[in-house]
Amino acid sequence: MSKPVKGFSKLTKEEKISWLSEHYFNDKEKGIDVLKKYWNKDERLQQLHDEFIENTISNYYLPLGIAPNFLINDKLYTIPMAIEESSVVAAASRAAKFWMDRGGFKTEVIATEKIGQVHFRYEGDPEKLQQFFTKIKPALFASLEDLTANMRKRGGGITGISLVDKTDALDYYYQLHCTFETLDAMGANFINSCLERLADVLQKEADNHRDFNDTERDIEVVMSILSNYVPNCRVRAEVRCPISSLNEDPELTPASFAKKFVQAVKIAQVEPYRAVTHNKGIMNGIDAVVLATGNDFRAVEAGIHAYAARDGQYRSLSHAEIDGDDFVFSLEIPLALGTVGGLTNLHPLVKLSLEILDFPKATELMQIVAVAGLAQNFAAVRSLVTTGIQKGHMKMHLLNILNQLEATPEEKEHFTSLFQDKVVTHRDVTQAVEDYRKNKA
């Protein structure tokens, strides 16, 4: 049974694992062996991984795959994807090939503005606060000169500071709403450093402001933090082709396929239960590329899902329509990404992933990631309105089931052939393997 532990972070990695095995592993030797099998044999590389986070005991691997044939704005890409879910890379690859023959993906970056806020409490006269803010605004900008110098040399920096009255939502709540341009950096550390400096200046200026009485002078900064909701840092991706070109499904005419596809996306616009799963499919593609390129998929997820609910109801992130004789499928999402800083400069596989993408700038990576999401969504909806999602998905999952059953190479070859034209279920595969082994015995 586990007990509280003091000074755990000061233990060596071996000591941490020993404590873990003592209190949690049924088979101590096996547990330790599994952890150590995932250590990198290159000691310097392992130390690098150990220092990414605290209390490291091993590495947790995800497959890194590639999806070729993505034609984006007439440039061909092979996209790296880090993900564990069966069929995601295969689906993205199929969608890429499908659209490569129909003009490819067209993308544009709409805006690149990022946001941070200083949240504070003020109980005095709102007009006095506005006058105070107007007076100190130049000092707020000036206080950031040293922090923003390098960013400004490259064309970025802080682009705006405004006072926002939020007292209608929460008593005495105000904020400094700040906007930034961080270029090829995601910019979290840069933005947070700026915000903390602004909070300090706000507090000191308020303490010394003559026109405030004692209550008004007592501005209380609650917190300073960037926002992962970046509705003004958006990218759009689109595919378009004549409806007559949607001719790869023998069960549906091109016109019927287009109509059914558009209806499926409209359902995700009005039905939140469907929209969540619909958008999860989009995030399969987005997260896989975000992970492979060393970006923060949690921040991306939170911002995109907030955007999907921006009008008060959670809706589809993608849009499909019939425009005259054309089928049009598009996606517009907020994305705050970086190609410098953080893991992009540290993780060897992240470096290789960015090299595979020809060392993109942050704006180019935004477009690539959006395309991965749109391609994944196209593949998923296409399956749903034609053969159904399970047939293709479970075929890709077959190998996972066989690995769980510890199938030999010979058995894998046999059952891959056996289930080639069947819908794969865990029960059917398990039963087939048991029967095969009994007959062979």
Label residues 150-173 b or e (16+ Cβ within 10 Å = b): ebeeeebbbeebebeeeeeeeeeb
Selecting among 278, 393, 395, 397, the annotated active-site residue is 393
DSSP 309-322: TTTSS---SEEEEE
Distances (CA, A) of 211 to 120, 158, 340: 19, 28, 45
- Pull the structure tokens for residue 55: 């209390």
Burial class (CB in 10 A: 0-12, 13-18, 19+), 291: buried
Structure tokens at 73: 């704005």
pLDDT at 103: 97
- Give the per-residue pLDDT at 391: 59
305 is catalytic: no
Quick one: pLDDT at residue 272? 98
Give this prediction's pTM.
Answer: 0.90
Structure tokens at 439: 């007959």
Query: Of the listed 28, 50, 85, 319, which one is catalytic?
Result: 85
Tokens describing residue 142? 């000036």
Q: Using DSSP, state whether 242 is helix, strand or coil.
A: strand
Residue 42 annotated among the catalytic residues of the structure: no
Q: Catalytic residue at 296?
A: yes
- What are the backbone angles phi and psi of residue 431, rounded to the nearest 5°? -65, -40
Which residue shows structure tokens 């049974």?
Answer: 1
- DSSP lists the bridge partners of residue 165 as 174
Q: What is the pLDDT of residue 436?
A: 85
In this predicted structure, what is the pLDDT of residue 399? 77
Place of tokens 């987005």: 286
Q: What is the DSSP letter of 7?
A: S
Query: How many angstroms separate the CA atoms of 36 and 41, rounded?
Result: 10
Residue whose C-alpha is closest to residue 318's, from 285, 279, 280: 279
- Please tell me the predicted confidence (pLDDT) of residue 221: 96
State the 10-residue block means of pLDDT for the chain, 441 residues long: 84 95 93 96 94 95 97 98 94 97 97 98 94 96 97 97 98 98 95 98 91 79 98 98 92 95 98 98 98 97 98 98 98 97 89 97 98 98 84 67 87 83 82 86 78
Q: Indicate if the alpha-carbon torsion angle 181, 184, 188, 191 is positive or negative.
A: negative
Residue 227 is predicted with a pLDDT of 98
Q: Give pLDDT, residue 390.
A: 60
pLDDT of residue 17: 96
Of 296, 347, 395, 397, catalytic: 296
Residue 330's pLDDT is what?
A: 98
Whether the CB-CB separation of 37 and 56 falls below 8 Å is answered with no
